Amino acid sequence: MSPPGGTFTLDQAPAGERLIVVSVDASRSGRIARLAGLGLVPGCELILRQRKPALVVDMGETTLALDELVARAIMVTPLG
């Protein structure tokens, strides 16, 4: 179950949740520009596949493993 309030950071989402990226805080990690190049930008849909040992997300045909610091810089909302 998602945290209450509608919008939360990716590291707070439960595994299996379908999400939409609301914003990415570029000031929190130098890796954010690289993620944008891979398609992780506001408005994209993703599914959080696993939380440990790293967060793994699917975005269409792309699968990314993210560390917790990066996941905390990504604001999401549940899809639907």
Sign of dihedral through CA atoms 7, 54, 27, 40?
A: negative
**CB atoms closer than 10 angstroms to residue 11:** 18
The answer to whether the beta carbons of residues 29 and 53 sit under 8 Å apart is no
pLDDT at 42: 93
Considering the entire predicted model, what is its pTM? 0.86
The pLDDT tens digits along the chain (80 residues) read 556 668 999 999 999 999 999 998 877 556 677 888 889 999 999 999 999 999 999 999 999 999 898 899 899 999 97
pLDDT at 35: 82
pLDDT at 70: 87
Q: Where are the domains of the chain?
A: 8-78
CATH architecture of the domain covering 8-78: Roll (2.30)
